[in-house]
């Protein structure tokens, strides 16, 4: 691959999608599937996250059907996309332009999901929540911050993918 085809953002997106594969499989799925599927060290990582960020959605996705649907889409549709996107960004979006439109779709979806999570985290009444949940504004903002990378990186990718799509259309 020539250096003109490999851009800094390709490295960022390669790392992002590569990281998404194990974190989705080993961490995000724990809010949906039975505990016995996971070794104790993974459960400990999840427990630390839940205690630190007081995330009621990941604590028990089944109590939040809207969040459960997001998790299931991630588990069954996005994991295969993460693998494919990792390969494409390894070679670079210019070398693998077939990633551009799917990236626009993925990024638009992910940004919308994060905005929904933020709205629920900031606006929900958690006073009757049995699982860990934010108790005050500071904890709500801390919970929102846990999802911030999943807003920023897809936003960068969305802008870049739209730019590449426009450029390809004009060429």
Q: Is 56 exposed, middle or buried (0-12, 13-18, 19+ CB in 10 A)?
A: buried
Closest CA to 153 of 57, 83, 82: 82
Q: What is the Cα–Cα distance from 94 to 74, expressed in whole angstroms?
A: 26
pLDDT of residue 2: 47
Show the domain range for 154: 8-170
The model scores a pTM over 0.85: yes
pLDDT of residue 170: 83
pLDDT along the chain (171 residues), means of 10: 73 98 96 96 97 96 95 97 98 96 98 98 92 94 98 99 92 74
What is the helix, strand, coil percentage profile of the chain, to 5? 80, 0, 20
pLDDT of residue 131: 76
- Is 97 inside a domain boundary? yes
Q: Please, which residues have CB within 8 angstroms of residue 94's CB and are 6 or more apart in sequence?
A: 4, 5, 6, 7, 164
The structural domain count of the chain equals 1
- Is 2 inside a domain boundary? no
- Is 84 inside a domain boundary? yes
- Is 65 inside a domain boundary? yes
- Is 69 inside a domain boundary? yes
């Amino acid at each position: 691959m020539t250096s003109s085809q490999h851009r800094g953002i390709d490295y960022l997106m390669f790392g992002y999608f590569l990281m998404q594969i194990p974190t989705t499989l080993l961490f995000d799925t724990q809010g949906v599937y039975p505990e016995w599927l996971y070794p104790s060290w993974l459960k400990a990582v999840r427990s630390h996250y839940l205690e630190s960020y007081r995330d009621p959605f990941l604590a028990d996705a089944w109590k939040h059907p809207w969040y459960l649907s997001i998790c299931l889409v991630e588990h069954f549709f996005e994991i295969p996309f993460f693998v494919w996107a990792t390969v494409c960004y390894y070679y670079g979006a210019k070398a693998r332009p077939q990633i551009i439109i799917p990236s626009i779709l993925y990024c638009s979806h992910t940004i919308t999901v994060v905005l929904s999570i933020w709205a629920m985290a900031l606006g929900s009444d958690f006073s009757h929540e049995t699982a860990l949940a934010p108790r005050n504004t500071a904890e709500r903002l801390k919970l929102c911050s846990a999802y911030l990378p999943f807003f920023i990186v897809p936003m960068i990718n969305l802008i870049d993918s739209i730019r590449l799509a426009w450029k390809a259309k004009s060429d």
